[in-house]
Structure 1
Amino acid sequence: MKKIELVVTLLLFVSLWGSCGERNKGKHLFILSGQSNMAALRPEESFTPAIEKKFGKENVIIIRDALSGQPIRRWYKNWKPLTGDEPQANPDLYDSLMVKVNTAISSQDIKTVTFIWMQGERDAREKLGEVYERSLTGLYHQLSGDLKRNDINFVIGRLSDFDMTDEKYPHWTMIRDIEVKVAESNPRFGWVNTDDLNDGYNRAGKEINNDLHMSAEGYVIMGKRFAEESIRLIRKNR
């Protein structure tokens, strides 16, 4: 009787070990997109090393596709203004991003997906903050649907303290608040502070203070923070 029980126990252990192995298969996919501050980020400076150190170089896929000065309607297909018909959605940047993503993940097992977003400056300047929340959450669900996953992690880089009086970009603080609100609405979401990253010296050696863009060191720190928040969400939601 004891021998039979031992065999059953061993078979159960092998079965559980095999199922755990299946769950642990696959690579971690990181998708970075947005406008100028994402376009200027150099993942190889800090983001990629931190991610590869955590998961192993062979276990990660990192894709960055960003373009300066672009509104969220260049990504979100169902974008609409609060009133009227103009401007209109033109999600060509999303399409080009997904070409890169689908090419990179072809024939790959993907364990986790983390979407990292640094954008909002253009929408703040054009006073389109009233539709930014639905656009941001809509973009997340759009990506989830296209990748056929309901477990995508979402890291949002909050706009910096560049225009806290809303003088130059009238909806600056509104979009900052929306980004935090969205990030705190879902256990798979998180946000990264950038208020201390736009002082110092830019890559051209010019001294900056509360600039629209980050300093040379600021971009390095931003990459680290994106990596840290991505890792935290993956660990929390595994």
Structure 2
Amino acid sequence: MLGIVKPYYPISLKKMTQLRFLVITLSTTLLLSCSSTPKVKYADGVSDQLEYDVILMGGQSNMVGQGKLIDLEPMSFPNITLFDFSANPNLSPPQGNFGPEVGLSTELSKNYPNRRFLLIKYAIGGASLLDWSPNYDAQKAEITGHPEFGNMYKRLITLTDSLTQGHQVKTRALLWMQGERDARIPAAGVEYYQNFASLVNSIRKDLKSPELPIIFGKVNPPPHRYPALDTVIRAQMQITQELPNTYLIDTDDLEKWEDDLHYSSSGQINLGVKFGKKLTEHIEVETNAIHD
């Protein structure tokens, strides 16, 4: 079994309490993700003897997921290992919920039953791209109201390195569902393109994967509550036009809860399936190119 990976935080006396709480939170979440739940079973741990396709999953609340486990039929994914470091905005672990990993796992297990996948998911509800910036600025991140989140980008890289070190792995993609927070705050929304482009370029460099596919969902919260929504959507579309191997997933047909913001149980399953289908397309293209 892999050891607990502590999150990176800028240390100060002021933040020691939050740090201690987050370590406990993420440790608990990791232990839960490595064990089987009554409804959804994943493989335990990572074997040194097997090869894994690594899929990173990042973002905010719709990546954390508010699908309800109680709505699912029992299912098992013996060829998929999930490490889930997700948290609610108050940094508590989500209880009884699921995100797009279920639909994604269903699609991958169907298409590649003989391959091993390692899903590394890290998302916090309410996180903006200022929280995810590779050039993290704590003072600037306060604009979006959650300075306690700390340097999320560095933490994802640290988690990925720690969980894959010494194993036979190939990083296949970053799946991304985020942008609502930036759409809520115009000062963050206006920077969305440059901040997202910076994240894409940095993660490809840091993971030594210059062509890493970035598959991300279109944000679609209620416009009257999110004044920078159009700005963020234009930025998402611009990313796909200007950066190679970036793919925007349409989410307009996904069912939501009554808040018109978070995807329902069926919405989350279908979001994961969409991620899985696009990832499968890319894997098939890459596989055919190797065989040609």
* TM-score of the aligned structures, taking structure 2 as reference length: 0.61
Whole-Å Cα distance in 2 between the matches of residues 32 and 149 of structure 1? Answer: 16
1:122, distance to aligned residue in structure 2 (A): 0.7
Q: Which residue of 2 aligns with 1:179?
A: 236
> 1:140 offset after TM fit, Å?
1.0
Taking a change above 3 Å as real, the CA distance of residues 59 and 154 of structure 1, as seen in their structure-2 partners, is: same
Residue 253 of structure 2 aligns with an amino acid whose one-letter code is D
Q: Residue 136 of structure 1: which of 196, 209, 233 is its match?
A: 196
Once the two structures are superposed, the pairs formed by residues 25-174 of structure 1 within 5 Å of their partners are: 26-40=51-65, 41-56=98-113, 58-78=115-135, 86-87=140-141, 92-127=151-186, 128-160=188-220, 162-163=221-222, 166-174=223-231
Q: Which residue of 1 aligns with 2:3?
A: none
Distance across 2 between alignment mates of 1:103 and 1:111:
14
CA distance in 2, matches of 1:65, 1:115: 11
**RMSD between superposed Cα atoms in Å:** 2.4
Asked if structure 2 preserves the Cα contact closer than 8 Å seen for 1:61 and 1:104, the reply is no
Amino acid at match of 1:215: S
Helix, strand or coil: the match of 1:225?
helix
Paired residue secondary structure (1:195): coil
Structure having the larger proportion of residues in helix:
1
Q: CA distance change for structure 1 residues 186 and 237 in 2, over 3 Å: closer, same or farther?
A: farther
Q: How many residues align?
A: 199
Q: State percent identity of aligned pairs.
A: 24
Q: Secondary structure at the match of 2:56?
A: strand
Task: Point out where structure 2 has 5 or more consecutive residues left out of the alignment.
Answer: 1-49, 66-97, 288-292
Residue 103 of structure 1: CA displacement? 2.2
TM-score normalized by the length of structure 1: 0.74
Q: Could you list the runs of 5+ residues in structure 1 that have no partner in the other structure?
A: 1-24, 203-207
Residue by residue, what CA displacement relative to the aligned partner does 1:30-82 show, whole Å, maximum 9, x if unpaired? 100100000015345211121233234652111111110111111112267xx
Distance 1:104 1:195 in 2: 34
Structure of higher CA gyration radius: 1
Which residue is equivalent to 2:84?
none
Change (3 A) 1:100 1:52: farther
Structure 1 residue ranges, 4+ long, deviating more than 6 angstroms after superposition: none
